[in-house]
Amino acid sequence: MSEIILRDDGRRPDELRPIRFQNHIAPHATGSTLIEWGNTRVICAVTIEESVPRWMKEQGKTGGWITAEYSMLPYSTLTRKPRDISKGKIDGRSQEIQRLIGRAMRSAVDLEKLGSRTICVDCDVLQADGGTRTAAITGSMVALQLAVQRLIRDGLISASPMSHAVAAVSVGVVGGRPLLDLCYTEDVGASVDMNLVMTTGGEFIELQGTGEEATFDEIQLAEMLSLGKSGIKRLLALQESVLG
């Protein structure tokens, strides 16, 4: 049997970093959680607006909508990251990530059952050490389910519009080895970087894979997918446990 080489932080290749949720972190939000994923920390909060975007009214679309915003706070990285507002526009990476969060959350909800209201998901990165987008998606699902529970308790909806849960995780090839859940130093040194967003039914919502000045073959892809799927299963089970 070949020896398993541990990673710099002592993890096995198929091991997630420690993950913890602190629910109800934002008292004025309808649902919220602080997800601590290794040294990455993201506050995910959901608020409800009793209206829908104008484009839905103009197009005669019924039901509700889910939108997301994502930002990294100035002190979330080793060197200060200026706020987007100081540049007058959202940077391309933040825009890509918030669209991904919105797509992931919408895939989990029957928008007709939501009624004529908008769910706003806000993700603020307090500390970044790799995997902020996957932490934001995984945490947003917990915040969203807490918000749905609140809507039911308040009598605003009669039944849950949730069709499934969603979680996300990163995988990659570092030093020729496929690894699950890359921290920042691994992400920087990865020859292949991939993010998986999946449902409880094992279906893909998003699969983003890129060779960083490198290529990868079908065997490496299969290994990364296997690692990612096993990680997603553990994340979904963790979400379920913290939602009670």
Report pLDDT for 14: 96
Q: What is the pTM of this model?
A: 0.94
- Is residue 108 within 8 A of residue 199, CB to CB? The reply is yes
Q: Which residues contact 126 (CB under 8 A, 6 or more apart)?
A: 34, 41, 42, 43, 73, 75, 76
Domains and CATH numbers, the chain: 19-243 (3.30.230.70)
> How far is it, in rounded angstroms, from Cα 10 to Cα 109?
38
- Residue ranges in 27-76 assigned as alpha helix (H): 54-58
Q: Does an H or E element contain 147, and which?
A: helix 132-153
Extended strands (E) in 38-75: 40-49, 65-72
**In the predicted structure, residue 89 carries a pLDDT above the cut 90:** no
> How far is it, in rounded angstroms, from Cα 195 to Cα 208?
5
> How far is it, in rounded angstroms, from Cα 194 to Cα 183?
13
Report pLDDT for 27: 95
Report pLDDT for 93: 84
In the DSSP assignment, the letter for residue 122 is: E
Residue type at 8 in one-letter notation: D
**In the predicted structure, residue 1 carries a pLDDT above the cut 60:** no
pLDDT in tens, 187-215: 999 999 999 999 999 999 999 888 877 88
Average pLDDT over residues 135-154: 97
